[in-house]
Amino acid sequence: MNRVLLKDSEKYGGKYVATKSFKDRNVFSYGREPVKVFNEAREKGVKEPVVFYVPKKGMVQIF
């Protein structure tokens, strides 16, 4: 099972990205504001975009 969400995660570090689904990892939109990222993906034809934050390389996250 591949657990990597994005292959170019360093490119998107510190930003939100929008994909079609967690299986389709093509990025349709990205930026610093999640609502804008979502709306831009919708404008590009993605019916229900999946938007998530990509942490910067080396950033520690505690869940």
How far is it, in rounded angstroms, from Cα 54 to Cα 60?
A: 12
- Is residue 61 over pLDDT 70? no
Tell me how far CA of residue 51 lies from CA of 3, 55, in angstroms.
17, 13
Higher pLDDT, 29 or 57: 29
**What is the domain count for the chain?**
1
Q: Which residues contact 12 (CB under 8 A, 6 or more apart)?
A: 6, 27, 30, 54
> What SS3 string covers 5-30?
CCCCCCCCCCEEEEECCCCCCCEEEE
47 is a domain residue: yes
Summarize pLDDT for 34-59 with one digit per residue, the tens. 999 999 999 999 999 999 998 887 77
**By residue range, what is the domain housing residue 34?**
15-54
48 is a domain residue: yes
21 is a domain residue: yes
